[in-house]
Structure 1
Amino acid sequence: MTRFYRIERSVLYSPAWFVPFDEFTGRQRTAGVTVALDRFDTGENTWLPQDTQAVRTPSAAITFPGLGRRGGPGPGRFRARFGAAGYAPLYPADDEPFVADALGVEFLTYPYDDTQPPAVPAEPRLVRLLPGAAFPYGPGVRTVYGVVVDAAARTPVANALVVADGTTGVDGVPWRERTLTDALGVFRLALRWEGEPADPPDDTETFRLLATERPGRTGSLAIRLPGDRDRGHVIEIVSE
């Protein structure tokens, strides 16, 4: 019988395990997802592109088997950058504050060999893919669009996080829609659930959009549908 070893002792050990997650559909996905790997050069103080190819596993994870196997005495610093047509990767983890200038998921590689496992085992890392400004929403999906700008400079804010959330009116189930702005600060956000009803009741729903550049740099806007659906909206980022 073949003996199976712990993954930390395998020559195919990967120092990073990424699980791309399509936030719009709520499913894992690797089809159509590209990954570029960079290594940080401490001498040049810059990121250098690598030709290491990622491997897609049957469980919809992306790995880099063997990376760090013959590394030096200390950990190496790497960065993975993701891409998918119509999507924008959300790089900060769920428990990290959002920053618009995050350019990838950074991780360390700890040296190992056939007899010595890496000092720190790898943990799966969820990478959320949010619908971008060019996301191909299907027919009937209600969306709103606009631009996020710096309130003082009036310049567009690229890669800002735009969020709308609330609860369904019938059973009170929480919902959340998110997107990231493109290089010109443009966003397009789906609003598939109901907003706040008007008082007194009519056919108007209110949605509150929150845009974040980084902690302490946010902007908000209330829109009312259906009247505001076909208007371009401007969310201004200010310092708190």
Structure 2
Amino acid sequence: MSAFLPLARSTLHSPVWLVPFDDHARLVRPAGVAVRLERFDDTDGWVALDDRAVRTPSGALAFPGLGRRSEPWTVPPERHRALFTAPGYLPLYPADDQPFAAGLVGVEFLVHAYDDTHPPAVETAPRLVRMLPAVSYPYAPGVRTVHGVVVDAATRAPVANALVEAAGHTGDDLTPWQERTLADATGAFRLALRWEGEKAADNPAEETFRLEAVERPGRAGALTVRLPQDASRRHVIEIREQ
């Protein structure tokens, strides 16, 4: 697991800038986040590297010096990936503009060789890495949550790393809200429901939420949760082809 170094040298030529973002608290939160770097080798597959991440004053994690070569024109771009871990969190690896896929491992990027007279061929920009609450996330006192498991509808096998979501609008001003979490290796999830759900005119004390789980495009499942009566129930979301 890579430790963090103080910002003691320039990060001008880091091939990647990654910003850990607490998706529940809506805050940049690099503290407590560990990152491991790997490079793809045609023979051995993904190989762990010893490069250590530098935390910048803005909260980004960078790898200054990665890609520096004595003869950069002789080295083709190399595939790398960064893998994140943090207590109470699971990383959401697809970028915001990409469809979700539970099988995606790490943030992949290309490293272009450079030296002092041959700058990197591609400029980089910071990218958020959204850290979603895991089952063990320390929700604040009073935050209501629902829990359960995501399974394959046919085999009943747990679906690891499935994205579980609930969304809606606030009752007063119809502001959209969204809650998200990721299932762990056993398919278990715990999702916060901080906002009001839909209310029926004949029973305003009951709130209804629709939980959706996605494994990848074309494989998803959903169920309806009613609070407060379903608060302690173990909910099972079945994933199937859509």
The normalised TM-score by structure 1 is 0.93
1:142-161 to 2 correspondences below 5 Å: 142-161=144-163
In structure 1, stretches of 5+ residues that fail to align are 1-9
Q: Which amino acid aligns with 1:65?
A: P
Q: Residue 122 of structure 1: CA displacement?
A: 1.1
**In the alignment, which residue of structure 1 is the partner of 2:58?**
59
1:82-97 to 2 correspondences below 5 Å: 82-97=84-99
Is 1:23 aligned to 2:23, yes or no? yes
The number of residues matched between the two structures is 230
1:85-164 to 2 correspondences below 5 Å: 85-164=87-166
Task: Render the CA deviation track for 1:191-231: whole Å, top value 9, x for unaligned.
Answer: 00000111324200000000000000000001100000000
Q: Residue 121 of structure 1: CA displacement?
A: 0.9
Q: Which amino acid aligns with 1:26?
A: R
> Aligned partners of 1:11, 1:197: CA distance in 2, in Å?
52
State the 4+ residue runs in structure 1 displaced beyond 6 angstroms.
Answer: none
The normalised TM-score by structure 2 is 0.93
**In the alignment, which residue of structure 1 is the partner of 2:217?**
215
Q: Which amino acid aligns with 2:235?
A: H
> Aligned partners of 1:181, 1:62: CA distance in 2, in Å?
25
> Aligned partners of 2:156, 2:63: CA distance in 1, in Å?
42
**SS of equivalent to 1:204:** strand
Contact 1:55 1:62 in 2 (8 A): yes
Identity %: 62
In structure 2, stretches of 5+ residues that fail to align are 1-9
Match among 168, 171, 192 for residue 169 of structure 1: 171
> Aligned partners of 2:115, 2:199: CA distance in 1, in Å?
61
Contact 2:11 2:62 in 1 (8 A): no
**In the alignment, which residue of structure 2 is the partner of 1:37?**
37
Q: Residue 11 of structure 1: CA displacement?
A: 7.7
Q: Residue 73 of structure 1: CA displacement?
A: 2.2
**In the alignment, which residue of structure 1 is the partner of 2:49?**
50
> Aligned partners of 1:97, 1:142: CA distance in 2, in Å?
28
Q: Residue 125 of structure 1: CA displacement?
A: 1.1
Q: Residue 103 of structure 1: CA displacement?
A: 1.1
> Aligned partners of 1:73, 1:38: CA distance in 2, in Å?
18
> Aligned partners of 1:189, 1:120: CA distance in 2, in Å?
39
Root-mean-square deviation (Å): 1.1
Which stretch of the first structure deviates more once superposed, 192-201 or 82-91?
192-201
**In the alignment, which residue of structure 2 is the partner of 1:5?**
none
Q: Residue 49 of structure 1: CA displacement?
A: 0.5
Contact 2:11 2:63 in 1 (8 A): no
Task: Render the CA deviation track for 1:34-90: whole Å, top value 9, x for unaligned.
Answer: 00000100123x100001000000000000001001155210110100011000000
